[in-house]
Amino acid sequence: MILYSYGDIRAMVHRSLDDASMVSVFPTETAVRFWTNDYVRTSEKGILRHDSTMAWDTFRSHFLPTGDAAPVNGFIRHLFALHLLGDPDTAASLQWFRHPTFPESVGNLASTVASLLPKLQEIERMRLVKGESYDRLPLAYRNDAARLQVAYGDFLAKRNLFEPRYLLPSVGNLPSGFERNYRIFFPEVCDGWEEFTLMSHVPAWIETCSADASKTESSLQVYENELMELRACMRRIGELLDTGQDFADIVVTVGNLERWRPYLEHEALLCDIPLAIVEGLSPLQYPPGRFFQSIQEVHAQSFSLDAMKSFLLDPRMPWKDAKVQRDLILRGLELSVVQGNPNPRKDDWQVKLARSLVKTDAQLLIWYKAFKVRISSVVAAKDAESLMQAVYVLQEFLLETGSWSETEGGDLHSSVYAYCLHQLSELGKAVRSCGFTTTQALVSLFVQFLGKQQYIPRDRPPGIPVFSYTVSAGLCPRYHFLLGCTQEDIGQHTDQLPLVPEPIWRDDAANDRTGLFLDHYRVMARQVHISMAQATFGNSSALAPSWFVDHDAIEMQRYVPADARTREQAAWAAAGATPFKANAMQSRWFDQACRTAFLPPRFDMADNKAVFSVWDRSCKGEGHLSLSATALDMFFACPMKWASSYLLHLGKGTFDTVSLDHAAVGILLHEILARFFQRVREESGVFRKELVDRYEVLLSASIDEVFTRFAHSPQAPVHTTVQYIAERYGTELKAILNAEGDMFDGFASWGFEISLEHLYAQSDCLLNGRIDRILVQDHADGTQTVAVVDYKKTYRGSRKAYDNYAQGLPSHQLPLYAKLIRDSDSTELGQVGTAAFYSIEKGKYIPIWEESQEERRDGMIAILEEHMLHMVDALRQGRLGATPSKQACANCDYRQICRRRYALV
C-alpha cells in the first residue's frame, strides 16, 4: 500500500493498531515507541496490546537461522583484528591494511579492520552480483578482504561463534506459531529490506505500507550560517510552545548531531526550550569514562607534566586527596619536571623530588611512586581480571571511598561507572570466548571501545526529542524540524567501506539512498521544516542536497535577531520600549537578580566610600603600617589591587607550564651582579674604567658559577632552556662593564641587597626596602657621594616619566630608598646623590636623578611622604575605592574578581 500524505499515514497506522489481528512493524524501536505513545495519547481506546507492534530488527530476526553458536560482538571483532595484525606473518601478507613504516598504527588499523569484518560478506555479494561496484575497489583492498574473510571464518568456526551480519533471512527458519498478519510500515527505510525481499518466498501474511512523497511539495530554507539557522528554529519552536503545542507534537532531527550538539544545547538553554537529545554521549564524556581515558593518557605520555595536570587537577573527580595532587603539580611546575620514566633514575619526578631540599617533597615523592606503580599495573594488565583488579586498587588509592558506587541505579556518575565496569567484564568474556590468554594494551583497547559506545541516562527529563538523521525515520509528528541538511550530512551510501577513498563509493549511484530517506522525511509530518546553512559551525562551506537544486526548491532566508538583548538595544535606539514576553527561565533569572545582583552590595570595597575600618587589619595588630615601595605603587595604581594583595592575601595561583621562569631568572641575575661587584670591591676597592678587561674575567666567573649551580638544582628547566638562559643573559650582563665605567667610575660598592626599615611615628608607618646596591664615592675634600641602584631584568620606564613627578610617581622605589638611607641611623650615609635603574636587557643605566639635582630628588621624596599620609588616612577611613584605568587594569592579577574593570571601555 502506498500512502501519500500525513493524514493518510496517521489514519492507516491507527487503523492498523486498532486491528487486534494485525501486528504493525515499524523501522526502529524509536518508531515503535513513537506510534505507541501517539496511539495511547490520541486514540479513543487509549490503550494498546504490547504484542501488536514490533520493530523491524526483531521481526527480521525470526527469519534468521539459529544454532548453538554464540554471536560475536564489537569486542570480539576488535580482539580478532588486534591479534591478527599483531601476528607478523599475517600482517606481512596484507597489502592495504598495514603501514609497515608505522608499526604503532596497529591499534587504529585494528579498529578499521574490526569495522570491516561484518561487511566482508557484503563485499563477497558485491563480487557476485555487482561486479562493476566490486571492480571499483582497489585490487589490494579486494585481496586483503578475501584474506581477512578466510582468517575470520576460520576464527569463528574454531570457537563456535557466528557473525550475525552474515546470516540471511529465510522463511524456513521461522519458528512455529509465528504466522500472523504483519503489516510492515515504511519498508523503504528498514535496514536489510532489500535483502529480505530477495528471499525465495515472501509469505502472503506480510503486507507493506510505504510513504510516497511524489505529491508533496518541499523547499529547503538556506541561512547564511548555522547559528542563524539554529536560532531561527529555536524561535519557531518557542512560538509553537507559546501557543500550547505539546512536546510530543514536535520532533527535531539534525544532519550531523555530533557537530551540532553543543550549540543546540546551549541555544536551547538560553531560549528555555526543553530539548531531550535522544542520542547518548560516549562514557568518555563523563568523569568515570574520563578516569579510564586519563589512566591511559598519563601512561602513554610517560607521566608528562601536562598529562598529569589534566588528570590530577580534573575537578570533576571525587579525589581522596586533592591537596596532595595539587601540591605535586605545583612542585612539578616549580621544579620544571618534563616527564617520568619507567627507570626511576631517569624519571624527572623522582629525581627532582628526591634531590629537593623542601621537606614536604619527600611526602610527594612517596605519593608519586605509589601512583606510578598503580597506573603501571593497570596499563600492564593483559587480561580483564587483572585489569579490573588493578583498576580497583587505583580507584581505592585515588578516589573517595564509596564516591562512585559500582551498582546501577545510583547517581549519574555511579551509573556511568557501573556501565564502564560492566563493559570491562564484557571485555573479559570476549577475551575468554576468543581463547586468548593475554592481550597487549588491553586498557587502550577498552578505552577505544568505550569511545564508541553511547551511554543513555535512564532518567531523561521530558522535552522535545532530538534525533540524528535516519534515527527518526518512521516518525510522523505534527511538526518536524530537519536542521543541518547539507548534502554531506544527509548523504546515505550503502557499501560504504572503511579505508576506501570516498569518491569510489560516493559516485556509485546504485549505492546512493540519500533521495530515498529525503523523500521519506518530506512526507512524514504535517509541517516539515528542512533547512541548512551555507557556513557551518566549523566555518567551512556546505552544499545544498541535489534534490532541492534539481527541483529549484531553495529559499534563501534572512535571519532577524529577536532575542531579549537585541530587542532591548532596538528599544534604546528608538527611545521607546517594545513589549517583550519573557520566557519562564528569563523570569526566573530576573526575579533572582532582583533579589541579588541588582541590589547594592552590603560591603562594596570597590566603592570609593568608607565601608568599615581596615586599619587594624592592615597593621596586623602592630600599631603601624608596614609599607614597601611595591605596596605604595600598588595602592596608587588602584587601592582595590592593594587590598586584594595585602589585605586579603589573594595570590595568583597558576598551573600553567612555563618554559622560562622569569622570576627565578631575575633572582639569578641579581646574584651574579652582587657576586661580581663584591669581587670588584675585593680586587680594586673602587670601580676603575681602565680595568674593564680584568673585570670581564671576574664577571664571567660569577656568571659561570651561578648558572652551573642553577643547572644542577632540582628546579632547573630542561638542558636546552638552561643553555638559552646562560647564553642570552651571559651576553647581556657583559654590557654592565662599560655602563658602570660611564656612570660610576671611581665609585665603590658599599653594600648589596641591603634591607632597611624606619619607623615614622607621626604617620604610623614603618617604611622598608631592600636595596640592590649602594655605592659611595669619596672626594678629596672629605665629602661623599652616595648612589643607589636597582637592577631590572627588563625596564619599560624612562627618566622622562619622572619629570612630572608632582602629578604622580611612576614608581616609589628610588625615592623611598633615598628617604630610608637619609633617615636610617644604621647606614650613617648622607643624602642620595644619584639614583638609577639598571636595565639588564638594554645594558644601560637610567638615572632618575643625578648629582646637583637635589630639588628633583627632594620633590620626589616629598611626594612619597604625601602619599604615605594619604594612604594611612584612606585606610583609617576604610576607603578602598577602585580606580580603574587602562594602565592599572591591563596586567592586574585581580581582574577576574573585580567588578570595576567593567568601567573600562
Q: Taking the complex as a whole, how short is the minimal distance between the CB of residue 646 and ligand SF4, in angstroms?
A: 13
Residue type, 459: D
Q: 772 in helix, strand or coil?
A: strand
Phi/psi of residue 507, nearest 5 degrees: -85, 0
Nearer to ligand SF4, 641 or 675 (CB): 641
Contacts 24+ apart (CB under 8 A), 502-506: 504/136, 504/137, 504/138, 505/136
Nearer to ligand SF4, 577 or 897 (CB): 897
Q: Which of 103, 285, 641, 804 binds ligand SF4 (CB under 6 A)?
A: 641
Stretch that binds ligand SF4, among 106-114, 387-395, 436-444, 891-899 (CB under 6 A): 891-899
Block residue for cell numbers 528608538: 574
Cβ proximity to ligand SF4, 717 vs 884, nearer residue: 884
888 binds ligand SF4 per the rule CB under 6 A: yes
The Cα–Cα gap between 239 and 233 comes to 10
Q: Which long-range contacts (CB under 8 A, 24 or more apart) does 118-126 make?
A: 118/77, 118/163, 118/164, 118/165, 118/166, 119/165, 119/497, 120/145, 120/148, 120/149, 120/152, 121/149, 121/163, 121/165, 121/166, 122/495, 123/149, 123/497, 124/149, 126/495
| Whether 721 contacts 659, CB under 8 Å | yes
Q: Where on the phi/psi map is residue 878: left (φ > 0), alpha (ψ -120 to 50), or beta?
A: left
Residue 485 binds ligand SF4 (CB under 6 A)? no
Smallest distance from ligand SF4 to CB 467, Å? 47
Span interacting with ligand SF4, options 118-126, 286-294, 652-660, 888-896, rule CB under 6 A? 888-896
Q: What whole-number distance in Å separates Cα of residue 477 and Cα of residue 529? A: 12
* Spatial contact of 11 and 211, defined as CB atoms under 8 Å apart: no
Closer to ligand SF4 by Cβ: residue 287 or 884: 884
534-540 long-range contacts, Cβ below 8 Å, gap at least 24? 534/222, 534/223, 534/224, 534/225, 535/224, 535/225, 535/226, 536/225, 536/226, 536/259, 536/484, 536/486, 537/225, 537/226, 537/227, 537/259, 537/260, 537/263, 538/259
Compute φ and ψ for 24, nearest 5 degrees.
-95, 125
The yes or no reply on residue 884 touching ligand SF4 (CB under 6 A) is yes
Distance CA(250)–CA(275), nearest Å, equals: 10
CA angle at 244 for the pair 242 and 248, rounded to the nearest 5°: 115
Cα torsion angle, 595, 597, 603, 607, sign? negative
- The reply to whether 213 sits near ligand SF4 by the rule CB under 6 A is no
Over the window 844 to 883, marking each residue x when it contacts ligand SF4 by CB under 6 A and - when it does not, the resulting string is --------------------------------------x-
What would the grid cell of residue 530 be? 528542512
Residues 388-417 that bind ligand SF4 (CB under 6 A): none
Q: In whole angstroms, how close is the CB of 893 to ligand SF4 at the nearest point? A: 8
Name the grid cell of 262.
Answer: 553543543
- 5 CB-side CA count, 13 A: 4
Q: How far is the CB of 894 from ligand SF4 (least distance, A)?
A: 5
| Residues whose CB falls within 8 Å of the CB of residue 285, separated by 6 or more in sequence, listed in order | none
Partners of 846 in beta bridges: 837
Residues 396 and 805: their CA atoms lie apart, in Å, by 63
- Candidates 329, 638, 722, 864: give the one binding ligand SF4 (CB under 6 A): 638
Q: Which stretch binds ligand SF4 (CB under 6 A): 62-70, 613-621, 764-772, 897-905?
A: 897-905
How many residues appear in the chain?
Answer: 905
Among 114, 640, 726, 774, binds ligand SF4 (CB under 6 A): 640
Compute the least distance from the CB of residue 652 to ligand SF4, in Å.
12
Looking at the Cβ atoms of 160 and 654, the one nearer to ligand SF4 is 654
Q: How far is the CB of 633 from ligand SF4 (least distance, A)?
A: 12
Answer for which of 372, 522, 529, 900 binds ligand SF4 (CB under 6 A) is 900
Residue 805's Cα: distance from chain center in Å? 48
Instruction: For the CB of residue 888, give the shortest distance to ligand SF4 in the complex, in Å.
Output: 4
The span of 147-155, 209-217, 638-646, 865-873 binding ligand SF4 (CB under 6 A) equals 638-646
Site stretch for ligand SF4 (CB under 6 A), options 260-268, 274-282, 543-551, 889-897: 889-897
- The distance of closest approach from Cβ of residue 606 to ligand SF4 in the complex, given in angstroms and rounded to an integer, is 7
Q: Which is nearer to ligand SF4, 638 or 703 (CB)?
A: 638
For the bound state, the minimum distance from the C-beta of residue 884 to ligand SF4, rounded and expressed in Å, comes to 4
Q: Give the C-alpha separation, 143 to 139, whole Å.
A: 6
Question: x/- string (CB under 6 A) for ligand SF4, residues 588-627?
Answer: ----------------------------------------
CB-count burial class (<10 Å; 0-12, 13-18, 19+) for 699: buried
Residue 497 vs 888, nearer CB to ligand SF4:
888
Nearer to ligand SF4, 538 or 651 (CB): 651
Among 82, 254, 614, 889, binds ligand SF4 (CB under 6 A): 889
Q: Which stretch in 16-24, 594-602, 635-643, 761-769 sits in contact with ligand SF4 by CB under 6 A?
A: 635-643
Q: Tell which residue, 838, 852, 857, has the closest CA to residue 740.
A: 838
Question: CB-wise, 370 or 904, nearer to ligand SF4?
Answer: 904
Of positions 26, 898, 902, 905, contacts ligand SF4 by CB under 6 A = 898
The stretch among 170-178, 208-216, 776-784, 896-904 that binds ligand SF4 (CB under 6 A) is 896-904
| CB proximity list for 242: less than 8 A, separation 6 or greater | 581
Q: 10 vs 641, which CB is nearer to ligand SF4?
A: 641
Handedness of CA 102, 103, 105, 106 (dihedral sign): positive
637 or 699: whose CB is closer to ligand SF4?
Answer: 637
Element (H, E) at 19: none
Which helix H or strand E contains 167, and what residues bound it?
A: none
Regarding 646 and contact with ligand SF4 (CB under 6 A), the answer is no
Residue 404 or 636: which CB sits closer to ligand SF4? 636
Question: What is the distance between the alpha carbons of residues 340 and 305, in angstroms, rounded to a whole number?
Answer: 8
SS3 content of the chain, % helix, strand, coil (to 5): 50, 15, 35
* Helices 74-86, 106-116: inter-axial angle, 10-degree rounding: 130
| DSSP letter (8 states) at residue 177 | T
- Minimum distance, C-beta of residue 892 to ligand SF4, in the bound complex (Å): 3
By rule CB under 6 A, what string of x and - marks binding of each residue 251-280 to ligand SF4?
Answer: ------------------------------
- Is 760 an interacting residue with respect to ligand SF4 (CB under 6 A)? no
Cell of 339: 616527564
Closest CB to ligand SF4 among 52 and 645?
A: 645
Number of residues that bind ligand SF4 (CB under 6 A): 13
Tell me whether residue 413 or residue 900 sits nearer to ligand SF4 (CB atom): 900
Q: Is 895 in the site for ligand SF4 (CB under 6 A)?
A: yes
Contact 152, 177 (CB under 8 A): no
Nearer to ligand SF4, 172 or 808 (CB): 808
The least distance separating ligand SF4 from the CB of residue 903, rounded to whole angstroms, comes to: 7
Q: Minimum Å distance from CB 904 to ligand SF4?
A: 7
How remote is the C-alpha of 462 from its chain's centroid?
A: 29
Tell the smallest beta-carbon distance from residue 350 to ligand SF4 (Å). Answer: 41
CB of 804 to ligand SF4, least distance (A): 21
Interacting residues toward ligand SF4 by CB under 6 A: 638, 640-641, 882, 884, 888-889, 892, 894-895, 898, 900-901
